[in-house]
């Protein structure tokens, strides 16, 4: 079975997690403008209500919108029951919700490792196991989008816990891109670099004083290079329409991933320099 034409989302039923802010919100806005019927969720109830009201006021069709924690399988199943009871299976599943925490291995706590895996890996798995089988049964094909990260492609410093979850989601996606092909369901793995979302302010960095001048300077450089959520969302929808498996949202990540594959010595040098720079920032920023 061929995958469906997604050059337009008009009349497509689209599920988006993490819809209250950042890339998820921007994707919901663009998908609605393209005519999609949306099922929206996020753990942030007020933020989700705000974007839902905004989209309804603009004339968007909202299949269902409800706050939930994607780490709670029963909550995901209940949400799916509402969505499927209102018109059947969805055509597109977009796993965008996620959290972030960084830190050197001697500073990371067990809660950091566990929360990364529970939200960024088990959360999307809960969505996949609940929404993809009905897509298969419906026989219309469809598309699955999993938002991983640059940290799901390369060895970014201090990202061990985060990368554990994002490399895991990459592995799930790599298998499903072939397993689901016979059902006409395509898969896209999105690997953003810097995106100027609220996570840039709220990310927890174990053992680092985020108010220190050295950290604030590094943060300012990061934000300056980061793309907007709207730009990232546009890259995702464009990549899906072109039936791309691997979707980058910025050229720097495309370049370093290319170097990793075809010029390993260059990649190793870049990552060692990057790691040394992070170590210097940590030393200057100190700890709380």
Q: Hey, which residues does 205 pair with through a beta bridge?
A: 102
Look at residue 174 in the predicted model and tell me its pLDDT: 98
Mean pLDDT of 173-190: 98
Alpha carbon distance 138, 125 (integer Å): 20
Look at residue 240 in the predicted model and tell me its pLDDT: 97
Look at residue 199 in the predicted model and tell me its pLDDT: 66
Band of pLDDT at residue 32, cut at 50, 70 and 90: very high
Q: pLDDT higher for 225 or 151?
A: 151
Query: 240-264 pLDDT, tens per residue?
Result: 999 999 999 999 999 999 999 999 9
Band of pLDDT at residue 224, cut at 50, 70 and 90: confident
Q: Which fold has domain 13-285?
A: Rossmann fold (3.40.50)
Distance of CA 280 to the CA centre of its chain: 29
Alpha carbon distance 149, 33 (integer Å): 26
Half-sphere exposure (Cβ direction) of 147: Cα atoms closer than 13 Å: 29
Phi, psi of 286 (to 5 degrees): 75, -170
Nearest to 94 by CA among 22, 178, 200, 193: 22
For the chain, the structural domain boundaries read 13-285
Query: 99-130 pLDDT, tens per residue?
Result: 999 888 988 999 999 999 999 999 999 999 99
Averaged confidence pLDDT in the chain:
92
pTM: 0.93
Q: Is the pLDDT of residue 283 over 90?
A: no
Residues 6 or more apart from 17 whose CB is under 8 A from it? 24, 41, 42, 70, 94, 95, 96, 97, 123, 124, 127
**Active site members:** 162
Look at residue 225 in the predicted model and tell me its pLDDT: 78
Q: Is the pLDDT of residue 214 over 80?
A: no
Burial (CB count within 10 angstroms: exposed 0-12, middle 13-18, buried 19+), residue 174:
middle
Look at residue 109 in the predicted model and tell me its pLDDT: 94
Query: 54-65 pLDDT, tens per residue?
Result: 999 999 999 999
Band of pLDDT at residue 217, cut at 50, 70 and 90: confident
Distance of CA 7 to the CA centre of its chain: 21
Look at residue 210 in the predicted model and tell me its pLDDT: 63
Q: Is the pLDDT of residue 208 over 70?
A: no
Look at residue 286 in the predicted model and tell me its pLDDT: 63
Look at residue 215 in the predicted model and tell me its pLDDT: 64
Q: Is the pLDDT of residue 288 over 60?
A: no
Look at residue 204 in the predicted model and tell me its pLDDT: 75
């Amino acid at each position: 079975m061929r995958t469906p034409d997604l050059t337009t989302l008009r009349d497509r039923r689209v599920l988006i997690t993490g819809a209250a802010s950042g890339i998820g919100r921007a994707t919901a806005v663009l998908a609605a403008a393209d005519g999609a019927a949306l099922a929206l969720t996020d753990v942030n109830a007020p933020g989700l209500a705000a974007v839902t009201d905004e989209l309804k006021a603009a004339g968007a069709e909202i299949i269902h919108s409800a706050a939930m924690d994607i780490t709670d399988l029963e909550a995901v199943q209940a949400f799916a029951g509402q969505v499927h009871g209102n018109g059947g299976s969805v055509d597109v599943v977009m796993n965008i919700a996620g959290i972030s925490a960084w830190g050197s291995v001697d500073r990371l706590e067990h809660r950091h490792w566990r929360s990364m895996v529970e939200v960024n890996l088990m959360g999307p798995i809960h969505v996949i196991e609940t929404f993809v089988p009905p897509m298969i049964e419906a026989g219309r094909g469809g598309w699955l989008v999993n938002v991983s990260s640059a940290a799901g492609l390369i060895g970014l410093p201090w990202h061990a816990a985060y990368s554990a979850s994002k490399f895991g989601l990459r592995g799930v996606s790599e298998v499903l891109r072939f397993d689901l092909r016979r059902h006409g369901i395509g898969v896209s793995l999105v690997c953003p670099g810097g995106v100027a979302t609220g996570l840039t302010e709220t990310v927890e960095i174990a053992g680092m004083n985020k108010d220190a001048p050295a950290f604030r300077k590094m943060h300012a450089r990061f934000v300056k290079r980061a793309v907007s959520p709207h730009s990232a969302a546009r890259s995702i929808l464009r990549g899906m329409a072109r039936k791309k498996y691997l979707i980058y949202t910025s050229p720097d990540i495309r370049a370093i991933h290319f170097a990793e594959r075809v010029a390993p010595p260059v990649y190793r040098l870049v990552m060692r320099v990057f790691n040394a720079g992070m170590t210097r920032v940590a030393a200057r920023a100190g700890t709380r």
